[in-house]
């Protein structure tokens, strides 16, 4: 039976290991938690700017999540 360390070394470059998947998932979760706190309007920011920033953050997170899912399909 192949060990996990060996398994991680034979994965094609277009796929990711379980540990990489977990690390990326944790980064996205942290990014989402931070975006919630940033969504609260700061002094000096207009409501339109806050909405625009929120849409950009959502788009960024969605793109990263889609790439991660595509790479993880080989797990």
How sure is the predictor about 49, in pLDDT bands with cuts at 50, 70 and 90? confident
User: How far is it, in rounded angstroms, from Cα 26 to Cα 30?
Assistant: 6
Map out the domains of the chain as residue ranges.
4-72
Q: Are 27 and 16 in contact (CB under 8 A)?
A: no
d(CA 21, CA 62) in angstroms, rounded, equals: 15
| pLDDT band, residue 40 (cuts 50/70/90) | low
Local confidence band at 2 (pLDDT 50, 70, 90 cut-offs): very low
User: What is the pLDDT of the chain when averaged over all its residues?
Assistant: 71
């Amino acid at each position: 039976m192949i060990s996990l360390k060996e398994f991680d070394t034979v994965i094609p470059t277009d796929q990711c290991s379980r540990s990489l998947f977990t690390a990326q998932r944790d980064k996205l979760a942290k990014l989402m938690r931070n975006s919630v706190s940033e969504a609260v309007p700061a002094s000096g920011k207009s409501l339109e700017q806050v909405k625009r920033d929120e849409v950009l953050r959502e788009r960024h997170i969605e793109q990263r999540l889609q790439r991660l899912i595509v790479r993880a399909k080989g797990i």
